[in-house]
């Protein structure tokens, strides 16, 4: 029976693969023909178009002819782009046409219908689906992992079905390696096979092995604030990327990549995840760090690491700004290069004209309109005097306005962008301090000018436990129309002063926004031995909920060495031993001081060091600071400085050690000079 099923599925795969090859050949032919036709038309344009601007009539004819040819070119570009996307999809499916099959019975009197599920959809004739997209409503039945009577939803309409078969495939191009009929995640052979593969320098999509609790997050209905609270290794980041792909699919007519922003802690992590969405046929969204965000919104200074501003100062800015009495130093002179167009006292006099408005957006925008009007008049009068002195002929109002825009655009742009407001001085006055942070500066600027991005529809923040309440208040104000998806693990908060999950809920409720928290409590990353080790650092009520689906592996190795010589000999030995194992080996240090000390001692035996803007190597061992290792995973991990100085037995020390341990999937060694941390 099994051989018969195998042969039937292999036969179906061969037919599907053959049709894909035919599609590939046809698309390549269409693209080739289109390119040839475009080249012919390009030559026609070059040979026949006449650029004649002798008079108004011939100029209009020339421009009309150019417009006609531009439309031809646009048509070619649109058609070429469409064919290129279809060819890219076909090429992707040729690597592995699909990964699953479901058989559904919609009515007891009818025969079950089979659907093959893959990373991308493809049809023979634009209607009959050869492969359905994993994000389609019907594919939800596969991910729900409920055999028998179940359902899926299409545009708020529930479709009841009887799931007769849920089959997984291991496929390489046109060859069926194996198949599995599975029901529940813990017995999922495809998942276990995937987890057993060695880790690389790039995160891979989990489309074929999405589990039920992960699928709940990926397909969760839109809510203003969605917090995913998952343990280390539960696939939070993978789920985030799959949800972004799901949103792009569900809202493909209305959602663009530039309307989704993904905040990441460092460039190393951004590089680690940058091929997941393209592999799913989607474009990466805007992916930035906190400092890159500050640069993007033109904050005039940045700070090292995260901005740990107390949220109380932002509340004080919000409450006190309207009561502030304007003074001259709250504003800048308006300049065109070195020339002062209006000095700050003149700006203040305009501000005082509108004293019925408190300090804030309405006042500043009203003042900006009046300043632009006055600046244009001043510039016009200045140039009129110059014109009279040189006895030039007066220009028309339209020509004069255009000339002022061209000659004095810098001053006018400064006014329009509220560059006349001295944000730094105003923030310092309110807070009564000589130093303000980037978050305080930006929040003050937003309160004064209304600066924000209303285009952004989704704001995704990974490792949210490492952001401050002030940073989230800034994001909330800068992206007023965005829905927020926040992912994190409070036990991986490795910096002081970061936001708690209860505070996230309070922020959402303060805005009367619906808040939903979803758990992810299964570790798909680490072996049971490693999972048990890092779970031992969790609060007892959470520790009991943690489980691992990995196969049993090796025990965690722990070493306490008395002298420097013994310590560095052992560290060198472990690095050498792990370097011979498959996959990546990360030697993690708590901070830069410990890392620099080890580099000096190891000398030429030290592996490569990963710094903030580096990419991970494709194999071998490397040294990395804990803050850069966050969110990443490695086959082998050596925690090189697991003593009480680096990991003290307090809450922060436990969080840091938990984070370091949980980077490992298969092998973990914990090493210290002297006594191991009391956390262990």
- List, as residue ranges, the binding site for ATP: 230-237
Q: How many CB atoms lie within 10 A of CB 284?
A: 17
- The CA distance from 360 to 334, in Å, is 20
Residue 344 · residue 329 · CB < 8 Å: yes
HSE, CB side, 13 Å, CA atoms: give it for residue 611.
2
Q: List b or e across 572-596, with b for residues whose CB sees 16 or more CB atoms inside 10 angstroms.
A: eebbeebeeeebbbbbbbbeeebbe
User: Of the candidates 506, 501, 499, 541, which has an alpha carbon nearest to the alpha carbon of residue 517?
Assistant: 501
Pairing of strands 113-118, 100-105: antiparallel
Strand partners, 613: none
Q: How many CB atoms lie within 10 A of CB 149?
A: 10
Q: What φ, ψ does residue 313 adopt, rounded to 5°?
A: -70, -35
Pairing of strands 113-118, 129-133: parallel
Residue 457 · residue 619 · CB < 8 Å: no
Q: How wide is the angle at C-alpha 477 spanned by C-alphas 475 and 482, nearest 5°?
A: 70
User: Of the candidates 189, 171, 172, which has an alpha carbon nearest to the alpha carbon of residue 180?
Assistant: 189
Residue 310 · residue 470 · CB < 8 Å: yes
Torsional class of 148: left (φ above 0), alpha (ψ -120 to 50), beta (otherwise): left
- The CA distance from 421 to 332, in Å, is 6
If you ran DSSP here, which 8-state letter would residue 555 be given?
Answer: P
- The alpha carbon of 9 is separated from its chain's Cα centroid by a whole number of angstroms, namely 38
State the Rg of the chain over Cα.
31
- Binding annotation: 230-237
- The CA distance from 271 to 453, in Å, is 25
Strand partners, 152: 159
- In total, the chain counts a number of residues equal to 680
Strand partners, 634: 664
Q: What φ, ψ does residue 358 adopt, rounded to 5°?
A: -75, 165
- The CA distance from 642 to 533, in Å, is 14
Residue 25 · residue 17 · CB < 8 Å: no
- The alpha carbon of 234 is separated from its chain's Cα centroid by a whole number of angstroms, namely 18
Residues in Cβ contact with 127 at an 8 Å cutoff, skipping those fewer than 6 apart: none
């Amino acid at each position: 029976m099994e051989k018969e099923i195998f042969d039937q599925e292999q036969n179906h795969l061969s037919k599907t693969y053959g049709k894909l090859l035919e599609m590939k050949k046809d698309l390549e032919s269409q693209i080739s023909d289109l390119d040839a036709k475009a080249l012919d038309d390009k030559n026609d344009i070059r040979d026949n178009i006449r650029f004649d601007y002798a008079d108004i009539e011939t100029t209009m004819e020339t421009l009309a002819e150019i417009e006609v040819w531009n439309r031809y070119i646009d048509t070619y570009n649109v058609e070429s782009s469409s064919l290129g996307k279809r060819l890219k999809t076909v090429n992707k499916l040729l690597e592995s046409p699909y990964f699953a099959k479901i058989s559904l019975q919609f009515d007891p009197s009818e025969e079950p219908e089979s659907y093959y599920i893959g990373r991308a959809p493809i049809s023979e004739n634009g209607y009959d689906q050869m492969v359905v997209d994993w994000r389609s409503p019907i594919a939800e039945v596969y991910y729900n992992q409920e055999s028998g009577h179940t359902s899926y939803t299409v545009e708020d309409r529930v479709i009841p079905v009887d799931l007769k078969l849920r089959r997984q495939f291991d496929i390489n191009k046109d060859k069926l390696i194996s198949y599995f009929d599975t029901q529940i995640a813990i017995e999922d052979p495809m998942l276990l096979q995937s987890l057993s593969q060695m880790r690389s320098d790039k995160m891979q999509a989990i489309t074929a092995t999405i589990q039920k609790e992960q699928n709940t997050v990926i397909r969760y209905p839109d809510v203003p604030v969605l917090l995913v609270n998952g343990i280390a290794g539960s696939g939070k980041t993978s789920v985030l990327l799959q949800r972004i792909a799901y949103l792009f699919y569900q809202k493909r007519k209305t959602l663009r990549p530039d309307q989704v922003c993904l905040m990441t802690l460092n460039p190393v992590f951004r590089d680690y995840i940058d091929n997941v969405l393209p592999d799913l046929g989607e474009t990466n969204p805007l992916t930035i760090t906190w400092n890159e965000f500050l640069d993007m919104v033109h904050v005039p200074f940045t700070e090292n690491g995260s901005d740990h501003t107390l949220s109380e100062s932002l509340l004080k800015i919000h409450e006190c700004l309207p009561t502030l009495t304007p003074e001259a130093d709250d504003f800048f002179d308006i300049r065109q290069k070195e020339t002062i167009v209006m000095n700050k006292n003149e700006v203040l006099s305009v501000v005082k004209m509108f004293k019925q408005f408190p300090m804030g957006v309405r006042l500043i925008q009203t003042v900006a309109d009046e300043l632009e009007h006055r600046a244009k008049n001043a510039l016009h009068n200045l140039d009129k005097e110059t014109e009279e002195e040189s006895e030039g002929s007066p220009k028309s109002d339209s020509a004069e306005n255009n000339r002022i825009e061209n000659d004095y655009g810098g001053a006018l742009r400064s006014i329009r962008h509220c560059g006349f407001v001295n944000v730094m001085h105003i923030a310092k006055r309110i807070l009564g301090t000589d130093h303000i942070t980037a978050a305080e500066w930006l929040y003050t600027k937003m309160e004064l000018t209304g600066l924000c991005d209303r285009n952004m529809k989704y704001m995704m923040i990974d490792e949210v436990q490492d952001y401050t309440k002030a940073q989230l208040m800034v994001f909330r104000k800068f992206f007023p129309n965005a829905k927020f998806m926040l992912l994190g693990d409070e036990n991986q908060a490795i910096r002081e002063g970061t936001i708690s999950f209860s505070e996230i809920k309070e922020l959402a409720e303060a805005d009367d926004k619906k808040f939903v928290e979803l758990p992810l409590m299964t570790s798909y990353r680490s072996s049971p031995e490693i999972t048990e080790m890092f779970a031992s650092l969790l609060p007892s009520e959470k520790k009991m909920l943690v489980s691992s689906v990995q196969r049993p592996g090796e025990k965690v190795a722990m070493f306490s060495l008395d002298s420097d010589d013994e310590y560095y000999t052992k560290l060198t030995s472990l690095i050498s031993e792990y370097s011979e194992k498959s996959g990546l080996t990360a030697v993690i240090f708590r901070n830069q001081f410990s890392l620099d000390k080890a580099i000096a001692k190891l000398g030429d035996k030290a592996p490569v060091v990963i710094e903030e803007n580096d990419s991970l190597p494709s194999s071998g061992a490397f040294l990395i600071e804990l803050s850069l290792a966050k969110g990443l995973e490695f086959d082998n991990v050596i925690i090189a400085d697991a003593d009480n100085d680096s990991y003290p037995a307090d809450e922060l020390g436990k969080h840091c050690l938990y984070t370091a341990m949980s980077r490992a999937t298969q092998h973990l060694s914990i090493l210290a000079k002297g006594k191991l941390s009391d956390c262990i």
